[in-house]
Amino acid sequence: MVKRLTESTSIQELIVKSRAGNSKKIEKIIPYILMLIASVSVLTTFGIIITLVVETIIFFSRISITEFLFGTEWYPFANTEQLFGILPLIVGTLKVAFIAGIVAVPFGIGSAIYLSEYASDKTRRIIKPILEVLAGIPTIVYGFFALTFVTPLLQQIIPDLKIFNALSPGIVVGIMILPMIVSLSEDAMSSVPNSIREGAVAIGSTKLEVALKIVLPAAVSGVIASIVLAMSRAIGETMIVSLAGGSTPKFDWDVTESIQTMTAYIVQVSSGDAGYGTTIYYSIYAVGFTLFLFTLFMNYLAHVISKRFREEY
């Protein structure tokens, strides 16, 4: 009997030791697997940057960088002299982003204040998911919505408005980025401790004063970061401006005329309007690299603002 118990105990010890050995091996391997997974996004980013830089250098070997950065005419498909001044594309992009900001920022912050300070838990659970559904709608659907609904509606108010213009896609891009501002701003406001609100109410502040003078300044880092990130998304928008904005690069600030943004030009060339290896083909990489620098700056700005004005409770 004693012999059997000893044999059973030794077998159990062997099983425990075997499992411990396997666990140690797995624990040693897991960090390398996780590091490999984490490095995929980093390596992908480096690959994209290298591709953009290499192809952009080829473009600038054919076109002067001064002409590209400071030229006010963009006619890459001209039969005589091709002109590659990117300023008209930048202005078109900024027009759409500026209009989108006018639409999204006040409505986004107002909605965030309502959800954070006025809405009940039940109302918040209903409204917030509905707002976030807007983020899941394909941008091409937004584009057709801008072209077939918003533009005809605006033409009844502005008779001189062209079919392709900057105003209609700007408004729709503002609607598209609205959920980002609402969600991030509401999260920032909700993180403000209730004790601060209660203290403000105790000294006689109204609910509106608490929202505008206490909660909003306390959550300003998150709110500003949400706005900057949303504007970065607006600058990089493609399908809405491609469908409803047109393809006429102009160096002016008229929002009723046809425009062309940086992303819309990339779509135009990528659809087969230029052959591989031509100057026009390499121009999409130069435009893409410029767009990359824009979005990189916006994301860095959001990070700096968030870090500079962050409040910890």
CA angle 139, 252, 65 (to 5 degrees): 85
How far apart CA 286 and CA 236 sit, in angstroms, is 15
DSSP bridge pairs for 74: 84
Model confidence over 249-265: pLDDT tens digits?
888 888 889 998 998 88
Instruction: Quote the pLDDT of residue 101.
Output: 92
On whether residue 66 sits in a domain, the answer given is: no
Q: Which domain holds residue 20?
A: 2-61
How far apart CA 158 and CA 146 sit, in angstroms, is 15
Picking from 61, 85, 112, the residue at the C-terminal end of a domain is 61
Quote the pTM value.
0.82
Same domain, 44 and 142: no
Same domain, 99 and 232: yes
Same domain, 108 and 46: no
Contact 225, 148 (CB under 8 A): no
Instruction: Quote the pLDDT of residue 97.
Output: 92
Same domain, 19 and 115: no
**Most confident range, picked from 11-15, 72-76, 300-304:** 72-76
27's tokens: 């624990």
On whether residue 225 sits in a domain, the answer given is: yes
What is the DSSP track for 212-265? Answer: IIIIHHHTHHHHHHHHHHHHHHHHT--HHHHHHT-S---SS--SSS----HHHH
How far apart CA 254 and CA 261 sit, in angstroms, is 14
Q: What is the SS3 assignment for 85?
A: coil
- The phi-psi region of residue 277 (left if phi > 0; otherwise alpha if psi is between -120 and 50; otherwise beta) is left
Overall number of domains in the chain:
2
Q: How confident is the model at residue 167 (pLDDT cuts 50, 70, 90)?
A: very high
How far apart CA 246 and CA 89 sit, in angstroms, is 12
CA angle 104, 108, 112 (to 5 degrees): 175
Amino acid at 14: L
The whole-number average pLDDT for the span 68-88 is 84
Task: Write down the number of H helices and E strands in the chain.
Answer: 14, 2
Instruction: Quote the pLDDT of residue 76.
Output: 84
Q: Is the pLDDT score of 22 beyond 70?
A: no
Same domain, 163 and 94: yes
How far apart CA 15 and CA 17 sit, in angstroms, is 5
Q: What is the CATH number of the domain that holds 112?
A: 1.10.3720.10
